[in-house]
């Protein structure tokens, strides 16, 4: 059994607005839950956005990998966990689990975060915030052992434009850009309905490479990789905003 004492935890009942037409937890609902408990976890460790504000900085999600081990149902009671895994390479790492009533994982995730200067919109070096953000892990447990991977377009891939989204009011969060969960919503909404409605998502990996700002239009481009995964690239002009790998 995983140790709960060195983690931030929340007991949760899956609400109807979190589910799809089959009364299963939507992938984006899990991402919303993970985002919220990540904020709680950082606040509990005294290096949340309130503490980073003294450095004119904020947390920004750079990469996330999610593995959906089994469907989670409407009204199901679950326990959500998160913990800080310290610093590795360029990133601060954070893991998550959603456990069922028997304590078994239904969803597992790992994420990589950076700190951004709010005014300059540039990344902040570790040593700038080292007196507030601990580089040591909160727990030695892991939900997923490997880090969230870099997603790249398959070599020689044939890209097809499958949609375009203009960043509106409902997309934007308090960091003044499109919230990270919205990118996965755009990606899933751009795929064929018979795929997303009838085939539960097994895995997703997403890289966030540039902000999408209010009023910007993000083009959505699609390719298949060699193992049949769907690669969605979001572009604003000549810039890659995000790239996501979806495995059904």
Global pTM reads: 0.95
How, if at all, do strands 203-208 and 57-68 pair?
antiparallel
Contact 230, 224 (CB under 8 A): yes
Q: Which residues contact 173 (CB under 8 A, 6 or more apart)?
A: 179
Could you read off the pLDDT tens digit of each residue along the chain, which spans 248 residues?
788 899 999 999 999 999 999 999 999 999 999 999 999 999 999 999 999 999 999 999 999 999 999 999 999 999 999 999 999 988 999 999 999 999 999 999 999 999 999 999 999 988 889 889 999 999 999 999 999 999 999 888 889 999 999 999 999 999 899 999 999 999 999 999 999 999 999 999 999 999 999 999 999 999 999 999 999 999 999 999 999 999 99
The topology under which CATH files domain 160-247 is Thiol Ester Dehydrase; Chain A (3.10.129)
Q: How many CA atoms lie within 13 A of 169 on its CB side?
A: 0
Q: Which of 179, 196, 178 is nearest to 187 (CA)?
A: 196
d(CA 192, CA 188): 8
- CATH for 8-129 (3.10.129.10, 2.60.40.10, 3.40.50.970, 1.10.565.10): 3.10.129.10
Asked whether the domain spanning 160-247 has the same topology as the one spanning 8-129, the reply is yes
Supply 205's token pair.
């990996």
Domain boundaries, the chain: 8-129, 160-247
Burial class (CB in 10 A: 0-12, 13-18, 19+), 98: buried
């Amino acid at each position: 059994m995983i140790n709960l004492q060195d983690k931030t935890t929340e007991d949760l009942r899956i609400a109807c607005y979190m589910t799809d037409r089959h009364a299963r937890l939507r992938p984006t609902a899990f991402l919303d839950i993970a985002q919220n408990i990540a904020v709680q976890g950082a606040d509990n460790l005294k290096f949340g956005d309130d503490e980073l504000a003294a450095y004119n900085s904020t947390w920004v999600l750079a990469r996330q990998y999610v593995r959906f081990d089994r469907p989670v149902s409407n009204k199901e009671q679950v326990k959500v966990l998160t913990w800080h895994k310290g610093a590795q390479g360029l990133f601060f790492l954070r893991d998550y689990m959603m456990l069922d009533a028997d304590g078994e994982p239904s969803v597992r995730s790992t994420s990589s975060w950076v700190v951004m200067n709010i005014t300059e919109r540039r990344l902040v070096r570790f040593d700038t915030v080292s007196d507030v953000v601990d580089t040591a892990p909160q727990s030695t447990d892991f939900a997923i052992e490997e880090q969230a991977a870099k997603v790249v377009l398959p070599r020689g891939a044939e890209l097809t434009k499958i949609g375009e989204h203009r960043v509106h009011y409902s997309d934007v969060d308090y960091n003044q850009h499109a919230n990270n969960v919205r990118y996965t919503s755009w990606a899933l909404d751009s795929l064929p309905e018979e795929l997303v409605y009838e085939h539960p998502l097994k895995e997703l990996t997403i890289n966030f490479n540039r902000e999408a700002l209010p009023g910007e239009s993000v083009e959505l481009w699609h390719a298949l990789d060699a193992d049949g995964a769907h690669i969605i690239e979001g572009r604003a002009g000549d810039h890659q905003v995000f790239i996501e790998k979806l495995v059904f």
